[in-house]
Amino acid sequence: MEVASKPIFNTLNRPALYTDFYELTMAQGYFLSGRKDEQACFNYFFRDLPFDGGYVVFAGLGDFLEILENFRFHDDELEYLKEQGFRPEFLEYLKDFELEVSIDSVKEGEIVFPLEPVVQVRGNIIQTQLLETLLLNILNFESLIATKAARLKYAAGERKVLDFGLRRAQGFGGIQASKAAIIGGVEATSNVYSSFVHGIPASGTMAHSWIQSFDDEITAFRKYAEYYPDNCILLVDTYDTLASGVPNAITVAKELEEKGHKLQGIRLDSGDLAYFSRKARNQLDRAGLDYVKIAVSNQLDERLIKSLLGQEAPIDLFGVGTRLVTGHETPALDGVYKLTSVNNEPKLKISENVEKITLPGNKKLIRYYDDRGRFYGDGIMLKEEGTVDTIYHPYYPAKHTKVTDFESEMLLYEVMRNGELTDGVPTPGDSAKYAKQRLEKLNAEHKRFDNPHIYKIGISKKLMDLRDELAQSLKKNN
């Protein structure tokens, strides 16, 4: 059957087929085998940290919850599935589909670590299974970009970082990337669509084409300043940065002063940014324009920003594009969605690689604080457990830590109950504020770019024993 192309933004309103084919074949299998009412629990977690870093900023929860509000199967989608060979009785079941899952999650903007049950989805086995691909697609990508943004902001310190990445993003993923970047700490975006939809600050200056379109650079600068006298940043490297670009910007800045305005800044987009920024700063300061800011762009990432500032480059603002929105050097967060119980019976996946054996059962996640109020470590335990005295390394139980003397808090909250949101969808601004607060509680050794200190993650003895007993039983019976 030929299907007319539909706008990609319909995904938000029609997400049911935004999935892998095998999710639907498994769902039909559950239905045909009479298992549609069995209750399941799935956990979302990741094993490896991106960028060889020390943490992940959790993002994507807001988009995921918002999309779930429209999760149902439409008539044309059911017709398509019929032509793919799905059974009439299963399609009839999908026709009356209403999402009734319950979801526990850490807050958007939370700082999370490997193996932790960041999200738990509970409900009948068909519904929980069908959410796998959608959940992974959104949470893996947005958490990756939010983490990259946090690293950029950490390198930049008090200097501003802007998202310039839409033109280099993977298609419409740029919309999510800009939102995730804000959650991670970036101050504004050039992405007007994301600014409009998510209410995040928009920012931008000019491209080289504006300057090239005039007969000379000074005229291009003057016209731009005429139209934007109070928000003027001039791109100074179209022809010769130090011989014409900066001098012409100085001329326009003086003309703006005479009219009661001030030039906001200049932007460098090529060459040796440390060298050119120092030379430009000297020229501006000699002209009495110490208030004019210097912005830079051009294939920046956290390591280059750190290098520039280590060279004492007088840069006030960084515009980061490609290496932010593509998660440069780590193309994907390896988050997974694994079954942990069916009808309250714990389940696990075993592997010859001990690090890939999953943690069974419904769980809770506890964060412990040191005497300075900083993150000390996290404990994973079964949901029904009370206070535990000791947490154990997930793979090397000889390594363990007493936690009785630490302040602690629960990290998982119910965000959806039987298909209904328990609270509003988090906004990018709220999530960004929360992420900033939480990053301040993470010790510096976990934030450094080279050989970050491994954050302490432990499991309770009861969970460890359950995992080991189940693993031995499965190996014996299979």
Tokens (6 digits) for 150: 């946090």
Q: Are strands 413-417 and 345-346 parallel, antiparallel or unpaired?
A: unpaired
Tokens (6 digits) for 216: 């000379």
CA angle 359, 471, 333 (to 5 degrees): 35
Secondary structure letter of residue 312 according to DSSP: T
For residue 23, give Cα distances in angstroms to 27, 45, 98, 161, 262: 6, 19, 17, 40, 58
**Given the structure tokens 């933004």, which residue do they identify?**
9
SS3 283: helix
CA 442, distance to chain mean position in Å, is 18
Angle in degrees, 0-180, between the axes of helices 173-184 and 428-440, rounded to the nearest 10: 40
* Alpha carbon distance 475, 242 (integer Å): 71
pTM of the shown model: 0.96
What's the confidence (pLDDT) of residue 2?
Answer: 43
Residue 59 lies in a domain: no
- Total of domains in the chain: 1
From the list 312, 319, 252, 320, the residue with the least C-alpha distance to 281 is 312
Residue 58 lies in a domain: no
* Alpha carbon distance 50, 435 (integer Å): 17
What's the confidence (pLDDT) of residue 4?
Answer: 43
SS3 15: coil
341, 40 contact by CB (below 8 A): yes
For residue 138, give Cα distances in angstroms to 28, 46, 134, 332, 463: 24, 14, 6, 11, 29
Residue 435 lies in a domain: no
Residue 70 lies in a domain: no
Give pLDDT tens digits for 291-323.
999 999 999 999 999 999 999 999 999 999 999
SS3 56: strand
CATH of the domain at 166: 3.20.20.70
Paired with 339 in beta bridges are 42
How far the first Cα of the chain sits from its last, in Å, is: 43
350, 357 contact by CB (below 8 A): yes
Residue 179 lies in a domain: yes
Residue 241 lies in a domain: yes
What's the confidence (pLDDT) of residue 7?
Answer: 47
357 CB contacts (<8 Å, ≥6 apart)? 348, 349, 350, 351, 467, 471
For residue 445, give Cα distances in angstroms to 8, 143, 376, 450: 42, 21, 12, 10
One-letter amino acid of 401: T
Tokens (6 digits) for 433: 């504020």
**Given the structure tokens 């074949």, which residue do they identify?**
25
Per-residue pLDDT of the chain (478 residues; tens, 9 = 90+): 344 444 445 557 899 999 999 999 999 999 999 999 999 999 999 999 999 999 999 999 999 999 999 999 999 999 999 999 999 999 999 999 999 999 999 999 999 999 999 999 999 999 999 999 999 999 999 999 999 999 999 999 999 999 999 999 999 999 999 999 999 999 999 999 999 999 999 999 899 999 999 999 999 999 999 999 999 999 999 999 999 999 999 999 999 999 999 999 999 999 999 999 999 999 999 999 999 999 999 999 999 999 999 999 999 999 999 999 999 999 999 999 999 999 999 999 988 788 889 999 999 999 999 999 999 999 999 999 999 999 999 999 999 999 999 999 999 999 999 999 999 999 999 999 999 999 999 999 999 999 999 999 999 999 999 999 999 998 888 7
**Please, where are the H alpha helices in 408-460?**
428-440
463, 361 contact by CB (below 8 A): yes
Q: Are strands 317-320 and 375-382 parallel, antiparallel or unpaired?
A: unpaired
Residue 420 lies in a domain: no
Domain boundaries, position 307: 146-325
156 CB contacts (<8 Å, ≥6 apart)? 305, 309, 318
Q: Are strands 345-346 and 336-342 parallel, antiparallel or unpaired?
A: antiparallel
**Given the structure tokens 């939809």, which residue do they identify?**
197
Paired with 293 in beta bridges are 265
118, 146 contact by CB (below 8 A): no
CB-side neighbour CA atoms (13 Å) of 415: 23
